[in-house]
Amino acid sequence: MNTTERGRALSEELNPGMEDALNERYGHLVPGMAEGVVDFAYGRQYARDGLDLKSRYIATIAALTALGGQTKPQLKVNIAGGRKAGLTQQEIGEVIWQMALYGGFPAAINGLNAALEVFEAE
Amino acid sequence: MNTTERGRALSEELNPGMEDALNERYGHLVPGMAEGVVDFAYGRQYARDGLDLKSRYIATIAALTALGGQTKPQLKVNIAGGRKAGLTQQEIGEVIWQMALYGGFPAAINGLNAALEVFEAE
Amino acid sequence: MNTTERGRALSEELNPGMEDALNERYGHLVPGMAEGVVDFAYGRQYARDGLDLKSRYIATIAALTALGGQTKPQLKVNIAGGRKAGLTQQEIGEVIWQMALYGGFPAAINGLNAALEVFEAE
Amino acid sequence: MNTTERGRALSEELNPGMEDALNERYGHLVPGMAEGVVDFAYGRQYARDGLDLKSRYIATIAALTALGGQTKPQLKVNIAGGRKAGLTQQEIGEVIWQMALYGGFPAAINGLNAALEVFEAE
Amino acid sequence: MNTTERGRALSEELNPGMEDALNERYGHLVPGMAEGVVDFAYGRQYARDGLDLKSRYIATIAALTALGGQTKPQLKVNIAGGRKAGLTQQEIGEVIWQMALYGGFPAAINGLNAALEVFEAE
Amino acid sequence: MNTTERGRALSEELNPGMEDALNERYGHLVPGMAEGVVDFAYGRQYARDGLDLKSRYIATIAALTALGGQTKPQLKVNIAGGRKAGLTQQEIGEVIWQMALYGGFPAAINGLNAALEVFEAE
């Protein structure tokens, strides 16, 4: 299985329909963009060995929180993904609040708000 | 044990001598700053329940990598801390490289360079 | 008076009810988070000697503007706080517009928009 | 023609009415701010020799995308400006998607969303 | 006195020789850049009414600290400028450490290091 | 030719030996990382149709300047790449200085310093 196939399998498991949705929304403007996401983000990153999926979501939730609220849609997608990968609500809350130390208090509070929105929708 | 004592115990375990070093370097300019770090960063964050220490270091290494190389000294301190908490070199490499997706390729490559410096010093 | 009590007194003066509101919204997810904000942000920062409160709000408004619009809710809270601490609308406008030099023109203009929203609500 | 006049001529060509709009919205709070934008941003930057206007918009669209979605209003203004300066929708899509490498995937996707909104309004 | 002359007078007072130094270093590559700095940064920002110079330096030191250590040379220049404008070492230390709340602990500590370097050179 | 092959051809043309260098430095820690860079950054981004290479370098130089000096090594690599792709020193200077508007004056000045280092080495 090459990286694209491996990425497609994982992306379908974690975010069913995502590749099609990207293609439909962005494909006419940036042809091949969806396949690039599947191959690189999923096939060559999340599907790699050496770090379990729960830890990968911890890393992503931490980074998007610290980078600030402008990535709120993606933060919410990854909080939901982390829940599927087995993270508890508490673990996610802890990761986000710890980011007060690195991204500042406003970023951490905005991150908690994103988490609450995801948890309320569960 | 209050948060300051709990933080002091953990900070001494993870970074022996850090509180004294902060006091000596910054205490004349910002009195009480070292105790604030011990109480808030260690006692009220890293020493919290709900997330194991390895995961906390994954979150921190991810965030500092994504925020960019300007925090290289702190990134290196936390990579070393993560090693003490039980993360393998491979796990740390995976966390950092995954940040190519969120902080960009230059940030991820700068993060790998920081990790290599820590690993070479081991 | 310890740092938590000192922080609580100041936070109640500047943002009455904030600690309770944080507890109600985030306490089930991140227990103790509200006390951490009160102790560290208020007791160990804003309540410190060595810099008057007006200057502290100038620093905060400047930083949140330069960091970009993703912290708009917190920027608005701090603009309102700066007004309570005695800053004029003009002084706040000057601080924000000066940030064109450091955070860029879009960040400064977004900051002015936040200020106008606060001033209109006065 | 001094830098203010040169800036005014170009700003009126690219964004008719902008100086008046800035004056009306911000002039009471930050007197002279609109003239500063006209003089510095247009007269001393966009109106300079040495780089054609299309390339200047490529640079701006790239930077605002990489800096993240908090500058979405300004990103949309500059995407529309780039279209007036002769950039195709495809060129703009390419610039934005390339920013996945430098500002991360979420920033690039948020940038594409801004572009789609501008293109739909054309 | 127009904005360029007003800016030149203030920049010569605060940073004697700066315009010439900028011209010599960057003028062959970006003609007029030094005058743009003098006119916009000094004449249209720092020389404005409505906020005293000490407060302007507080704002700048806060922002550059929060934005992170990549602007260390400029942070040091502005710390030295703030000292000239009358800020005490303690006030500057307070401004910088407060940024732990907004730019994170690593950014604040890097800012303190920049301040110590300036103070040691005094 | 698939995306990896297309990327390898372009990367060898623009940065001869880069893939081998990445492999040697990072391959033991993050296996496959170099191929991922070649495939995604070169094959799926820089080698795409729809935007000429000069414009791609304008976009990259602009973004790395605006993101701040922490990516100085990568900014220098891309300034050198832009020169190979046909950008003049003046065009690069203009792109960088324009970023004063979006990333702030310190970021733009740090970017000019990076450019001067590259130009002096030519």
Q: Do D110 and A71 touch (CB under 8 A)?
A: yes
Instruction: Tell me the percentage of chain E whose pLDDT exceeds 90.
Output: 93
User: What tokens were used for F78?
Assistant: 């891309």
Report d(CA A95, CA C86) in Å as an integer. Answer: 37
Q: Do C104 and F106 touch (CB under 8 A)?
A: no
Give me the pLDDT at residue C32, please.
95
Residue labelled with tokens 């508007």 = F101
C-chain residues near D26 (CB < 8 A): 93, 109, 112, 116
User: What tokens were used for D44?
Assistant: 């001393």
Q: Where does F1-122 have alpha helices with state H?
A: 3-14, 18-26, 33-36, 53-67, 72-84, 89-98, 105-121
Q: What is the three-state SS of C7-65?
A: HHHHHHHHCCCHHHHHHHHHCCCCCCHHHHHHHHHHHHHHCCCCCCHHHHHHHHHHHHH
Contacts of E26 (CB under 8 A, 6+ apart): E33, E34, F93, F109, F112, F116
**Angle formed by the axes of helices A89-98 and A105-121, to 10°?**
160
Report in angstroms the alpha-carbon separations of C46 from B79, D16, E60: 32, 45, 18
Chain A positions contacting chain B at CB under 8 Å are: 40-41, 45-46, 48, 50-51, 55-56, 58-67, 71, 90-91, 93-95, 97-103
Instruction: Give all chains having 3 or more CB-to-CB distances under 8 Å with chain F.
Output: A, B, C, D, E
**Angle formed by the axes of helices D105-121 and D72-84, to 10°?**
50
Which of C3, C4, C70 to probe by mutation at the B interface, max B CB count within 10 Å? C3
Beta carbon pairs, B and C, within 8 Å: 18
Q: What is the DSSP letter of A45?
A: I
Which residue from B97, B100, B89 is spatially nearest to B122, judged by alpha carbons? B89
Report d(CA E103, CA A103) in Å as an integer. Answer: 6
Q: Do C68 and D68 touch (CB under 8 A)?
A: yes
Give me the pLDDT at residue B70, please.
64
At residue E73 the predicted structure's pLDDT band, cuts being 50, 70 and 90, is confident
Which residue from D84, D118, C107, D85 is spatially nearest to D96, judged by alpha carbons? D118
pLDDT at residue F116 is higher than 60: yes
What is the average pLDDT value for chain C, to the nearest integer? 93
Chain B positions contacting chain C at CB under 8 Å are: 3, 32, 36, 39-40, 44, 48
* Mean predicted confidence (pLDDT) in A91-117: 94
pLDDT in tens, A45-75: 999 999 999 999 999 999 999 988 567 889 9
Which of E39, E46, E49 to probe by mutation at the D interface, max D CB count within 10 Å? E39
Q: What is the DSSP letter of F86?
A: T
Q: Do B102 and D106 touch (CB under 8 A)?
A: yes
What is the average pLDDT value for chain B, to the nearest integer? 93
Give me the pLDDT at residue B36, please.
95
Give me the pLDDT at residue E1, please.
85
Give me the pLDDT at residue E70, please.
64
Q: Do C33 and A107 touch (CB under 8 A)?
A: no
pLDDT at residue B69 is higher than 80: no
E-chain residues near D44 (CB < 8 A): 32, 36, 39-40
A-chain residues near B46 (CB < 8 A): 98
Kindly identify which residue of chain D lies nearest to residue E37, measuring between CA atoms.
D40
Q: Do D48 and E32 touch (CB under 8 A)?
A: yes
A-chain residues near E66 (CB < 8 A): 104
Kindly identify which residue of chain F lies nearest to residue C66, measuring between CA atoms.
F104
Chain B positions contacting chain E at CB under 8 Å are: 25-26, 29-30, 33, 37, 41, 64, 67-71, 73-74
Report d(CA F78, CA F73) in Å as an integer. Answer: 9
Kindly identify which residue of chain E lies nearest to residue F94, measuring between CA atoms.
E30
pLDDT at residue F69 is higher than 60: no
C-chain residues near B48 (CB < 8 A): 32
More confident residue, C73 or E88: E88
Report d(CA C80, CA C101) in Å as an integer. Answer: 23
Is E23 exposed, middle or buried (CB count within 10 Å of its CB: 0-12, 13-18, 19+)? middle
SS3 A43: helix
pLDDT at residue A2 is higher than 60: yes
What is the average pLDDT value for chain D, to the nearest integer? 93
Q: How far is C101 from chain B (nearest CA, A)?
A: 20
Q: Do C29 and A112 touch (CB under 8 A)?
A: yes
pLDDT in tens, E32-60: 999 999 999 999 999 999 999 999 999 99
Give me the pLDDT at residue C71, please.
76
Give me the pLDDT at residue C96, please.
95
What's the whole-model pTM score? Answer: 0.94
* Mean predicted confidence (pLDDT) in E60-67: 92
User: What tokens were used for E90?
Assistant: 């303690």
ipTM above 0.90, yes or no: yes
* Mean predicted confidence (pLDDT) in F35-46: 95
A34 CA to centre of own chain: 16
pLDDT at residue A76 is higher than 70: yes
pLDDT at residue B116 is higher than 60: yes
Which residue from F29, E107, F18, F40 is spatially nearest to B112, judged by alpha carbons? F29
Q: Which CATH superfamily is domain D51-122 in?
A: AhpD-like (1.20.1290.10)
What is the average pLDDT value for chain F, to the nearest integer? 93
Q: What is the DSSP letter of F44?
A: I
Report d(CA B18, CA A118) in Å as an integer. Answer: 38
A-chain residues near E103 (CB < 8 A): 104
Q: How far is F69 from chain E (nearest CA, A)?
A: 5
Beta carbon pairs, B and E, within 8 Å: 41
Instruction: Give all chains having 3 or more CB-to-CB distances under 8 Å with chain D.
Output: A, B, C, E, F
Task: Tell me if A38 sits within 8 A of A4, measured CB to CB.
Answer: yes
Report in angstroms the alpha-carbon separations of C72 from A83, C118, F113: 28, 11, 33
Report d(CA C37, CA E100) in Å as an integer. Answer: 12
Report in angstroms the alpha-carbon separations of A12 from A19, A30, A37, A88, D115: 8, 21, 12, 22, 27
pLDDT at residue E100 is higher than 70: yes
Give me the pLDDT at residue D70, please.
64
Give me the pLDDT at residue D65, please.
93
Instruction: Tell me the percentage of chain B whose pLDDT exceeds 90.
Output: 93
Q: Do D104 and A26 touch (CB under 8 A)?
A: no
Q: How many helices (H) and strands (E) does chain F have?
A: 7, 0
Report d(CA E102, CA E63) in Å as an integer. Answer: 10
Q: Do F69 and E71 touch (CB under 8 A)?
A: yes
Report d(CA D23, CA D38) in Å as an integer. Answer: 11
Report d(CA D106, CA B59) in Å as an integer. Answer: 18
Q: Do A105 and C74 touch (CB under 8 A)?
A: yes
What is the average pLDDT value for chain E, to the nearest integer? 93
Give me the pLDDT at residue C70, please.
64
Kindly identify which residue of chain E lies nearest to residue A105, measuring between CA atoms.
E101
Chain D positions contacting chain E at CB under 8 Å are: 3, 32, 36, 39-40, 44, 48
Q: Do E104 and A103 touch (CB under 8 A)?
A: yes
C-chain residues near F101 (CB < 8 A): 104-105
Contacts of C46 (CB under 8 A, 6+ apart): C7, C10, C14, C53, C56, E98
Q: What is the DSSP letter of F2?
A: -
Task: Tell me if F105 sits within 8 A of E37, measured CB to CB.
Answer: yes
pLDDT in tens, chain D (122 residues): 899 999 999 999 999 999 999 999 999 999 999 999 999 999 999 999 999 999 999 999 999 999 885 678 899 999 999 999 999 999 999 999 999 999 999 999 999 999 999 999 99
Give me the pLDDT at residue A69, please.
56
* Mean predicted confidence (pLDDT) in C91-114: 94
- Count the neighbouring beta carbons within 10 Å of the beta carbon of residue A86: 11
Give me the pLDDT at residue D100, please.
94
Q: How many helices (H) and strands (E) does chain C have?
A: 7, 0
Which residue from D93, D100, D109 is spatially nearest to A77, judged by alpha carbons? D109
Q: Do A105 and E101 touch (CB under 8 A)?
A: yes
Report d(CA B44, CA B3) in Å as an integer. Answer: 6
Report the residue from D48, D56, D103 with minimal CB separation from F63: D103
Q: How far is F112 from chain C (nearest CA, A)?
A: 16
C-chain residues near A116 (CB < 8 A): 25-26, 29
Give me the pLDDT at residue C68, please.
81
pLDDT at residue C19 is higher than 70: yes
At residue F47 the predicted structure's pLDDT band, cuts being 50, 70 and 90, is very high
Q: Domain ranges in chain B?
A: 1-48, 51-122
pLDDT at residue F27 is higher than 60: yes
Kindly identify which residue of chain E lies nearest to residue C41, measuring between CA atoms.
E101
Which residue from C103, D45, D36, D7 is spatially nearest to E47, judged by alpha carbons? D36
Report d(CA C76, CA C66) in Å as an integer. Answer: 14
